Chains A and B, each alone.
Chain A
Amino acid sequence: MRQERFVERHQAEWRDFELWLEKRSVSARDARRHRREWTGIADDELPARHRRLCQQLALARRRGYSAVVTDRLQQLMQRGHSVLYQTKPVHWRRAVEFLLAGFPRLVRAEARCMLAAALLFVVPLVTIFVAIQIKPDLAAGLFDAQSLANFEQMYDPAGKGDLGRTNEDDLQMFAHYIGNNVGIGFQTFASGLLAGLGTVFVLIFNGIMIGGVAGHLQAVGHGDPFWRFVAGHSAPELTAIVISGGAGLRLGLSLIAPGQRRRIDSLIHGGRRGAKICIGVFAMLVFAAFVEAFWSSISSIPAPIKYAVGAVLWLLVFAWLLRGGRNAIHRDDEDAA
């Protein structure tokens, strides 16, 4: 068929398609509001129209029609493609469902990586802590004198009673904790792409640092205010760091041990799950920052209550991670695969 005839025959279809793209593809809300006045292509007709257009484009290319036709069809096709193949928008209900069920399931699916990350974090932490109890001078090797003095002053039992806090207000500390901790969590995951080595380093480093500070404060007799301060937020914060570490190790593993997948596919698989885990980690760390800023800092609450709350939070976090999303409805979900 001659080009001119071809254009003549299909021109109207292309115009309709173009009009739809211009008027109805831009904003879903707008499209909903004007659906009664709309007289062009019906929305449910679009996939069929798009396939027709693709066929016409293929024909036009095959027959060597000129750029006026092929380029125009090509552009229409690309615009149609990006409307038809967009990812589903996130619904808030699905987001809640993910936090309650999907996230724990993802974490359990990577149980070995999580365990490895936990060991990489806890073993140095406990080792340093114990070592400093036996030989308190070790702390001086980890931190310089100035930081040691800072720690001691922050958690001084004889101090003015603000736990672990100079006199900035809670809101500011909240913002600080979020920025700081989420940053560490995300970096722990992302550095796993360096064959997992980055994650291993971050986990061990943080283990040593936290163990060092705790050990030193315990050894010099500032233990009570320190433990009272950290009891509350320790559960969500430490588990979140370990979980992001586990996700990082998983990512590293998909690089060095892709198994039966192509390496790139394995990376995509590991990265997608890791990023999902990071969203859960993000939520945990925001929660931890809340607790840290608005609960941990209250020094008037007696130690038993603080410890009790801390213990309850540990229990809740573990119950959530171990039991969340174990219902049959989600069993064949892609997350668990």
Chain B
Amino acid sequence: MLDTYRHVVTPEGVALHLRAAGPLPRALAYVLDLVARIAIYLALYQLLTALFGGAGYAILMLVTFVLSWFYMVLFEVLMQGRTPGKWALGLRVVAADGAPVGWMASFTRNLLRVVDALPVGYAVGLVTSLIDPWGRRLGDMVAGTLVVHAARQQTLYEAQVAPALAPTIVLLQHEQAAVVAFAERAPRLTAARQAELAELVEPLTLSRGQAAVVRLYGIANWLLGRR
């Protein structure tokens, strides 16, 4: 329940990183979809009754039927697991192995909303999604799907280029990683903060202030293999 970050190992032996979404963003997405459906319904109501009169009501009933049973399915399958509500909240439905959700799975999970919505306000779904480590409601479990936070495209920066400098002491693997991470992130910090961080590893840089920052960049470049 506490850890919502999931790893799924693919057939190739590497791990997919899936961030299981909790009940609140999912509920918000559902509400947004509900509003969208009502808006579609009202718009069509005006349009169809004005155009066709009696027959308009018939079409409207068919539309209501489709909206209530297939709105989610159509969007989830055709829009890479996103309904408009999920899109707005950055959520996606995926199969449990991280693959895109298919017609059957999406149909199943939305069919079983009937049970998750029991007795009122998705209470069953809320309880099961709190108990389940993947945050799934019953429909998700049966369909073999889960809702994840879509991976956000974050911009990464290459490390600052500086003359390479061999470290004077042997660095362990994780220490090397920390130095490289510093070189990649520090350019976005203020000069004072850069210096403050660089001074933490004084045994390595053997200097203080701006000089320490430059030396640390140099060591990072050496570690990256820029020579």
Contact = CB atoms under 8 A, between A and B. Distances in A.
Contact of B100 (A1, A87, A90, A176): A87
A191 B112 CA distance: 8
Nearest to B18: A78
Interface string A250-282: 010000000000001001101110111011000
Given A5-B225, A194-B118, A198-B115, A176 B61 contact: yes
Residue from A58, A67, A75 having most chain B Cβ neighbours under 10 A: A67
Say whether chain A's binding surface is mostly helix, strand, loop, or mixed.
Answer: helix
A186 B114 contact: yes
Interface in A54-89: 54-55, 57-58, 61, 64, 66-68, 71-72, 74-75, 77-78, 81-82, 85-88
B111 A86 contact: no
A2 interface: yes
Contacts of A272: 104, 108, 142-144
Contacts of A50: 12
Interface in B75-109: 80, 94-95, 97-105, 107-108
A246 B10 CA distance: 36
Contacts of B103: 87, 90
Contact of A191 (B16, B98, B115, B141): B115
Interface in A1-47: 1-5
B141 A81 contact: no
Contact of A75 (B14, B142, B151): B151
A270 B112 CA distance: 13
Contact of B138 (A4, A88, A193): A193
B174 interface: yes
B177 A64 contact: yes
Interface in A173-219: 174-176, 178-179, 182-183, 186-187, 189-191, 193-194, 198
A171 B60 CA distance: 11
A67 B156 CA distance: 8
A198 B124 CA distance: 14
B211 interface: no
B111 A3 contact: no
Given A66-B181, A66-B184, A178-B62, A276 B225 contact: no
B65 A182 contact: yes
Contacts of A54: 10, 12-14
Interface of B: 10, 12-14, 16-17, 54-55, 57-62, 64-65, 68-69, 80, 94-95, 97-105, 107-108, 111-115, 118, 138, 141-144, 151, 153-154, 156-159, 173-174, 176-177, 180-181, 184, 223-226
